[in-house]
Amino acid sequence: MAATGEAVLDVRGLTRLYGAGCPDCLVLTGPDAGTNICPQCHAIVACNNISFDLEQGEILGIVGESGSGKSTLLRCICFDEEATAGECYFAAFGTGRDDAFSQTGQARRYIRNHLLGIVYQNPLMGIKPHFTAGGNVAEKLLTADVYNVSLIRQRAATLLQRTEVPLARMDDFPANFSGGMQQRVQIAKALANNPPVLLLDEVSTGLDVSVQARVLDLIKEIQRDLGIAMIVVSHDLGVIRLLADRTGVMQHGQVIEFGLTDQILEDPQHRYTQLLVHSML
Amino acid sequence: MGVNQNRKHRGYNFAFLDENTKREIRRKLLKAVAIPGYQVPFASPELPIARGWGTGGLQITMAIIGPGDVLKVIDQGCDGSVNAVNIRKLLVKTTGVATTFDTNAASIIQTRHRIPEEAMRQDQILVLQVPIPEPLRYVEASEAKTREMHGEMDYSRMWVYLYENIVQYGEITIGARYPSLVNRRYLIDPSPIPRWDVPKLNQAETLYLFGAGREKRIYAVPPHTLAEPLEFEDFRFRVEDFTGRSCIRCGATDTYMNEMYDSSSGRKLFVCSDSGYCDRRREQSVTQNLACAEPTGHPLGRVPPKAEALVAPIQERSRSYPTASKEAGALEQVVIEGKEAR
C-alpha cells in the first residue's frame, strides 16, 4: 500500500540534549563540527532540531552510524525519553494539532498504549520474558482496555500465527525462546491493537540471515496488509533499501540528507551518505 | 486538654502517641479520605509493638480514638488471639476506653485480615492492619516504578498477572489481598482479607482506614465509594464457596469459615472466623432455648459466656474467653484458599 499523503505523525524541531546545555550547543555540533559533543559545555546533542512527517501507510527509514541519534529519536517519539525541545503531533490524538510532548504522563501513556507499537532491537526490552508469549500480547491489549480473556486469547493466537510463532508455544515463556522467536513475539505484541504507527528499532540486527529475511518479509507484509505507517531505524542500508519508501540519513545528531530511498541510494549528495552507500556490501 | 484528664497511666499521653504525631496521622487520614485509594506516606514512629505486628492500624486507632469510644480489636475475626489481645491491652492501658466483643456496640474496630460479618454502620470506623500496602508488588519490585504506575494509572501488568493465572490454572489464584480498584482510579491492596470480605468495601456505610506501619503508608476507602475487585468480562470475581458447610459452634451457613482438621477423629470441621458473631448467634439460640448445633463432647462446643459479659471490660473478659482460638490450638488450623501474608 502506497502512502496516501495524509500525515499520521508530524515531528517538528525535535531536540534531545544529554547534559546541562548552553545556548551554542546546537550550533557548535553536527557534521560540520565533526562531533555531537558541545565543546563549550560538553553536553551531548543526540538529536538536533529534527523535523519530518510520516504519511499513512508509509515506511520511513532512518539510517546512520552508531551514536548518530537514531535510536534516541525513536525513544523520544515513544516517550521512553523526554525530548528537550520540539513538538510531536499524532493525527489520531486529540484534534491532531495537540503537541504530544507537552501532555501529562497519563495522556502520553494513552498515546503509547493506543496509538503506537514499538519493537526494540533487544526483544527483552519490549517483552517480559517471564510472562507467557500470549501474556505479552495480552499486556498490549489490556493497556488498550480489552478485558475479555477469550477475546484476548483469540487475538494473541491470530497474531502469533501471523508472526510464525508456533501456537503450541503460546503459553510458554519467551525466556526459553530463541532470539528470532522472541523478536517475532515482540512484533506480535506491538501489533496487538492495530496501532496507526509502528516504531522499529534495529529489528533485524543480531538475527541470523534466514531469520532476518523472515522478519523483514513479515514487516513488509504487515505494511502491505494493514497499512500501518512505520519508522524503521537501522544502520544497515540493505534493510532500509528493502523496506523504506523515504529515508533520512543522520550523522552527529542531525539529518544530513532526506529523500526517496532510491534517490538517496542512487545519487547520494552528502559526503557521508556517499561513503555509506559506497561501503555497502 | 479534656482528653488528657482521662489518661490511665502517668507518663504517657492519652493513646500513647504525643499530640503532634496524632495530628500528623489525622492530616494524612484526611488526605487519604480525600483521594480514595491513594497511598499517603506518613512518619510511622516507633511503638512498643514491633513493626509488622499491626503498628499501622494501631497508629490510626491511636490518632482517632477518644475517651468516649468503644473499642473492638480482632485478629482474623477473633477477639481472643494474641495480636488482638496485645493491641487491645495497650490501647486500654493508655486510653482507658471501654472495649467490646460485639461488632454492633463498637465505635472503632481495629482488625487484622477480616471485616466483621455484621454490616457496619456509618457511625463506626474499621481500621485495618496492612502488611503490604502496594498491590503492584506482585508484579513490580521497585517502589519508584509502582508509584509512577499509580500516577499514570498503568495497571496493565496486574491485569496480565491475572490473565496468566487464568491461562495457567483456569482460575485467579489470589486468595487474600485481592487487588481492587477504588473510585475507578487507584488500585489498592485491601490487606489480606479473604475474597469473602472484598465486596463489603464497595459502596459501604462505614469508613475503612488502612494503615501499614512498616511500609509507612495510609489509605482509605470512604463510605459510598466504588471499590471493585479486578475481573475480566468473561471471568468474574468469585468469593470462597462454603456450600454445604456449617459452623460447628453456631450452625451458621452464611459466614466466612475456618477449616479445621481434628487429628484424633480425622474429620474436617468448619467454624465461623468471626468469633464475636459466632458467640452472639450461640447466645441467641441459647436464650431462645432453641436446639443449637452442639456437637457434644467436642472441645469447641462449649456454652458461650453470659450476654452481659460480652460487653464487659477486657480485664474480666479475657479470663473468660478460652473459646475457639485457644482450645483450637489442639487442632491443626488450615487456612482456606491459600496464603496468609505474614
* Whether B200 and B295 share a structural domain: no
Give me the pLDDT at residue B10, please. 63
Is there a domain that residue B154 lies in? no
Residue entry with cell 494474641 = B82
Low-confidence ranges of chain A (pLDDT < 70): 1-5, 281
Instruction: Report the share of chain B in percent with pLDDT over 70.
Output: 81
* Whether B42 and B78 share a structural domain: yes
Order of strands across the sheet with B186-188? B186-188, B180-182, B227-229
Last residue of a domain, one of B229, B244, B265: B229
Which chain A positions have a beta carbon within 8 Å of B158's beta carbon? none
Alpha-carbon distance of B296 to B298, in angstroms, equals 5
* Whether B72 and B184 share a structural domain: yes
pLDDT at B332 over 80: no
Give me the pLDDT at residue B314, please. 36
* Whether B92 and B30 share a structural domain: yes
Contact A142 B163 (CB under 8 A): yes
* Whether B6 and B112 share a structural domain: yes
Contact A152 B159 (CB under 8 A): no
- Residue A214 C-alpha cell reads as 523472515
* Whether B119 and B196 share a structural domain: yes
Alpha-carbon distance of B293 to B282, in angstroms, equals 9
Give me the pLDDT at residue B36, please. 97
Give me the pLDDT at residue A99, please. 92
Contact status, residue B197 vs residue B115, Cβ threshold 8 Å: yes
Q: What is the largest CA-CA distance in chain A?
A: 59
Which chain A positions have a beta carbon within 8 Å of B234's beta carbon? 148-150
pLDDT at B299 over 70: no
For B199-249, the pLDDT digits (tens) are 999 999 999 999 999 999 999 999 999 999 999 999 999 999 999 999 999
Is there a domain that residue B159 lies in? no
Give me the pLDDT at residue B82, please. 92
CA distance A30 to chain B (A): 35
* Whether B273 and B220 share a structural domain: no
Q: Taking an 8 Å Cβ-Cβ cutoff, which residues of chain A contact chain B? A: 105-106, 109, 113, 128, 131-132, 134-136, 138-139, 142-143, 147-150, 152-153, 171
* Whether B214 and B315 share a structural domain: no
Which chain A positions have a beta carbon within 8 Å of B235's beta carbon? 149
For B118-127, the pLDDT digits (tens) are 999 999 999 9
What is residue B158's DSSP assignment? H
pLDDT at B92 over 80: yes
Domain of residue B111: give its range: 2-135+178-229
* Whether B206 and B274 share a structural domain: no
Contact A135 B163 (CB under 8 A): yes
Please report, in angstroms and rounded to a whole number, the separation of the first and last CA atoms in chain A: 29
Contact A138 B153 (CB under 8 A): no
DSSP bridge partners of B207: B125
Is there a domain that residue B167 lies in? no
For B131-174, the pLDDT digits (tens) are 999 999 989 999 999 999 999 999 999 999 999 999 989 989 99
pLDDT at B336 over 70: no
Taking Cα atoms as reference points, which of B62, B107, B100 lies closest to residue B79? B100
- Domain total in chain B: 2
Give me the pLDDT at residue B335, please. 35
Confidence at B9, pLDDT banded by 50, 70, 90: low
Instruction: Report the share of chain B in percent with pLDDT over 90.
Output: 73
Give me the pLDDT at residue A162, please. 83
Is there a domain that residue B336 lies in? yes
* Whether B190 and B271 share a structural domain: no
Is there a domain that residue B286 lies in? yes
Is there a domain that residue B158 lies in? no
Is there a domain that residue B40 lies in? yes
Which among B150, B158, B159 is the top mutation candidate for probing chain A, defined by the most A β-carbons within 10 Å of its own β-carbon? B159
Which chain A positions have a beta carbon within 8 Å of B233's beta carbon? 147-149
Contact A135 B160 (CB under 8 A): yes
Give me the pLDDT at residue B330, please. 34
For B43-56, the pLDDT digits (tens) are 999 998 999 899 99
- Residue B169 C-alpha cell reads as 490454572
Q: Is B173 exposed, middle or buried (0-12, 13-18, 19+ CB in 10 A)?
A: middle
* Whether B183 and B331 share a structural domain: no
Positive or negative, the CA dihedral A223, A228, A234, A237 is positive
Confidence at B302, pLDDT banded by 50, 70, 90: very low
CA distance A125 to chain B (A): 15
Please give the interface size between A and B, counted as residue pairs whose CB atoms are below 8 Å apart: 51
* Whether B8 and B74 share a structural domain: yes
Interface pTM (ipTM) of the complex? 0.83
Residue of B nearest to A107 (CA): B152
* CATH number of the CATH domain containing B68: 3.40.50.11310
CB proximity list for B67: less than 8 A, separation 6 or greater: B2, B3, B6, B14, B95, B96, B97
Is there a domain that residue B170 lies in? no
Give the burial string for A68-90 (b: 16+ CB within 10 Å, else e). Answer: bbbbbbbbbbbbebebbebbbbb
